Structure 1
Amino acid sequence: MPANKSAHPFYIIAGTMICLLALSFVHNSFSFQGFTSRQIDLLADVKATPAPPVVKHTIVAKGKPGDSARQVTGIPEPDHRSYDFMTYTGIQEYTDTVAVAPGMQHFLQALEELKAGKRKKVRIAYFGDSMIEGDLITGDLRDSLQTQFGGAGVGFVPVTSVVASFRTTIQHTFSNNWKDYHFRNNPPQDLPLGLSGHTFIPATESWARYSPVRKHGLDRFSEVVLFYGPGNSNVIINGKPYTLSGGDPVNELAFQQDTAQPSVLLKYAGGSAQPFYGLSFESNNGVYVDNFSFRGISGIELGKLGRGVLQQMQRQHPYDLVVLHYGANVLFRPELTDYSWYERPMQRVIDSLRNNWPQTSFLIVGTADKAYKKTDRYITAPGVPALLKVQHELAEQHGTAYWNLYAAMGGEGSMTHWVEGDTVLANKDYTHFNRQGAARVGALLYKAIMDEYKQELHP
């Protein structure tokens, strides 16, 4: 048999090796929906491991008093003597860059007035992405604040939700014939979006049911408010008919829950195709935390909230603190370090929110740590400190408060520790917290808020 002397196999192997060698010199990993590919590097065994990224610009908070925070058990405690924005675990405030509602001052004063019986309610609007969906983080923060300052109720819940099945702070079911317009599916131009980023249009016999759960402060409904948009329609709530009317971007129907009926069943009973936003569950006084989670967004999408909705909602359902908690979806490329594309539109978002809610306190939460696989181990993504710098600058420029979650959870390498430690606090995507980790974050934020409350009002 004649020998096979074809050179094709050699060319194929040689070409493959050249391509792989070339890929070793470029950043070729990619991320998609929590999955990060492993970077190809034929020279990994002979390369030196790069040093962790260095933040070149240090910005120090102005006029902060000493930190008196007690340690949260089980979490490494960074240096509290430094007020470097990259390492400080408390809340930093910037009060000299805006004339109205700087830092946390309005919110802290509202808590003090609530404690003294001078006001009935304090509300927090907590905006975020999948890090807070299912009431993660916010549920524990709400429980701690209500234990300290009073209140019972889960706050705002939309008409439908993609996370209703695993939310543990309310039982929520609904028909599948609501039309959901939202941030990402191009709603009609004349249709206002609610604060959650969603607006729901009913069809024949659309319904939604809400039931309490056996948890502290969540085991019964008291004051219920239905938020809806302009138009005229009829609904039946727990068997009682109501006519909804109003021309404002946000209108409300408030009622007291009948103690004989634990659940709230909302049924659409005809009329115009009126927008519905959701319901709020509160008691007659206390602190309320409204969870406005929207999976997959960066925060830029909040710029789609209209002026009419923002101003009318604040008149009817005023917020004393707005929390902006984003970052996981900004870090979609772990080695990206230029976030100017994010900073510019976020400046417009914060300007819009502050202009429409001038008396409200604002808190920007710096991103959590995010790890990705570099050669054979998980390390903090280079984009994390770069994004933290941008988020901190946004807070400083707009006179908001700033809390660095990355520092609070332990700083560099902390996500790997939260995933791989003896107590598992985060998921294998090295991005999202599990329930136990989210509870820990809620406790950390509550501690930071209470430290600020004590330092500012009860030194």
Structure 2
Amino acid sequence: HFGDSTIAADGIPSVVRRRLQARFGERGPGFVPVRVDTRWVFRPQLVRESVGDWSHWNLTQGGAPSRRYGLAGMPAGIESEGGLTLGFKTQDLEFASHHYFSLAVQAQPGGGTLRWGPVGGEMQVFSTDQDRVKDEDLFLHFPEGAGAIRIEALGDGPVGIYGISFERAQPGVTWETLGVAGSSIGSMRRQNESHLKRAVASRSPSLIVYQTGGNALGYDSFLLGDGQLYQQSYLTILSRLRAGAPDADCLVVGPLDQGVRQRGQVISRSEIPRMIAVQRAAAQEAGCAFWDARAVMGGEGGFARWMDHEPTLTWTDLMHLSQAGSALLGERMADAVLHAFSAWESASPIEVIEDKP
């Protein structure tokens, strides 16, 4: 689930994840960045501890080496000795057990050595020194399960890490939060195209969800003419995402309603319907479904009504949803996804073949 600040704090995705995992099984939390600035990305229950002089970049601000930002849009790197510990805490404040881990790293000429493994357990060693810059995926499997994972850079050269995935050895789904606050199609263009394709392919997704637009209401490409320039740029990003998993389904989520104050009253921003129309057209051309989040908020005047709700469902910045608002929208999105699946299931019955004696 790619997107901007609407999803970067995992509010909406966490609800969709919970609902789908209750229906299809809990495969785990999936892919996450290893070192972040929590002003841009936040994942509840994920504990990140670091030692050493780690750097990190994000899609919104740019600056990542080789224009490679990883699947989550926030890579990390270090040139000296350092370490990271990551794990998901349960309600009992214990580290949740997972069985499969994959670590996405950047190899490069002169790259340093890293080792990784379960805290207190045997570590796997890998050299990122390669003849050219390229992406590598490392894997660990623990049949009995493991909790927190430790990653160490040995200090013999630069080490770059895109992220790590946590999965369980059981049937089910992951719904992976890949949002960065401030993200837009402009920031997505910073991604090295072949790198992004490989990053998406590495997760073998069944569904790609893309949700940006609120940060682009002032783009010249959107405001000029009929918005065709923005529509084509949006279509380009959808095509790049889908290139890594051409058989995956695709869902575009339209912008939330946003407000503006006029004569002491909060009214909806006039640009939102135009953005919805442009994104809907791009989604249709790309072969993606479109979900109108503003319509779920009640359409015109939705933000004001959600703001006046008790408890309030929005922030006072006239752009973002509160925790309660995010949870409500997440429930409605889960309803839509599950309804679509049920419709597909009814139209595509699975033949059950019984074993013959």
State the TM bucket, normalised to the shorter chain. 0.7 to 0.9
Give the structure 1 partner of residue 70 of structure 2: 194
2:237 equivalent to 1:349: yes
Shift of 1:365: 0.4
In the TM superposition, 1:138-157 aligns within 5 A as 138-157=13-32
Query: Deviation string for 1:384-430 (max 9, x for gaps)?
Result: 11111111111112111100000012111111111111221111112
Question: Is the Cα contact below 8 Å between 2:8 and 2:42 reproduced in 1?
Answer: no
Give the structure 2 partner of residue 95 of structure 1: none
Give the structure 2 partner of residue 235 of structure 1: 115
2:173 equivalent to 1:287: yes
Aligned CA distance change for structure 1 residues 388 and 221 (closer, same or farther; 3 Å): same
Question: Is the Cα contact below 8 Å between 2:115 and 2:152 reproduced in 1?
Answer: yes
Secondary structure class of the residue paired with 1:458: helix
2:80 equivalent to 1:204: yes
User: After alignment, is 246-255 or 405-414 more displaced?
Assistant: 246-255
Give the structure 2 partner of residue 382 of structure 1: 270
In the TM superposition, 1:438-457 aligns within 5 A as 438-457=326-345
2:17 equivalent to 1:172: no
Query: Deviation string for 1:63-105 (max 9, x for gaps)?
Result: xxxxxxxxxxxxxxxxxxxxxxxxxxxxxxxxxxxxxxxxxxx
In the TM superposition, 1:385-404 aligns within 5 A as 385-404=273-292
User: After alignment, is 280-289 or 305-314 more displaced?
Assistant: 305-314
Partners of 2:243 and 2:104 lie apart in 1 by: 23
Give the structure 1 partner of residue 352 of structure 2: none
Secondary structure class of the residue paired with 1:286: coil
- Letter paired with 2:126: L
Question: Is the Cα contact below 8 Å between 1:154 and 1:169 reproduced in 2?
Answer: no
Pick aligned residue for 2:318 from 421, 430, 443: 430
Query: Deviation string for 1:348-399 (max 9, x for gaps)?
Result: 2122223343212111101110011011100010011111111111111211
Aligned CA distance change for structure 1 residues 176 and 387 (closer, same or farther; 3 Å): farther
Shift of 1:200: 1.7
Give the structure 1 partner of residue 350 of structure 2: none
Shift of 1:444: 0.6
User: After alignment, is 270-279 or 128-137 more displaced?
Assistant: 270-279
- Letter paired with 1:138: P
In the TM superposition, 1:244-393 aligns within 5 A as 244-245=126-127, 249-256=134-141, 262-284=147-169, 285-331=171-217, 338=224, 339-393=227-281
TM-score normalised by length of structure 1: 0.66
Aligned CA distance change for structure 1 residues 129 and 351 (closer, same or farther; 3 Å): same
Shift of 1:312: 2.9
Partners of 1:383 and 1:337 lie apart in 2 by: 9
Shift of 1:261: 5.9
Pick aligned residue for 2:97 from 220, 238, 244: 220
Secondary structure class of the residue paired with 2:89: coil
Aligned CA distance change for structure 1 residues 260 and 317 (closer, same or farther; 3 Å): closer
| Unmatched runs of 5 consecutive residues or more in structure 1 | 1-125
Partners of 2:52 and 2:259 lie apart in 1 by: 37
- Letter paired with 1:243: V
Partners of 2:197 and 2:282 lie apart in 1 by: 23
Give the paired residue count: 330
Question: Is the Cα contact below 8 Å between 1:372 and 1:378 reproduced in 2?
Answer: yes
Query: Deviation string for 1:252-306 (max 9, x for gaps)?
Result: 2222358686322222123331321111111123101111111112233222323
- Letter paired with 1:295: A
Identity in percent: 23
In terms of Rg, which structure is larger? 1
- Letter paired with 1:349: I
- Letter paired with 1:296: G
2:308 equivalent to 1:420: yes
User: After alignment, is 339-348 or 378-387 more displaced?
Assistant: 339-348
Partners of 1:260 and 1:352 lie apart in 2 by: 35
Query: Superposition RMSD on alpha carbons, in Å?
Result: 2.6
Partners of 1:341 and 1:151 lie apart in 2 by: 41
TM-score normalised by length of structure 2: 0.83
Pick aligned residue for 2:294 from 406, 422, 429: 406
Shift of 1:241: 3.2
| Unmatched runs of 5 consecutive residues or more in structure 2 | 348-357
Partners of 2:125 and 2:45 lie apart in 1 by: 29
Shift of 1:455: 1.5
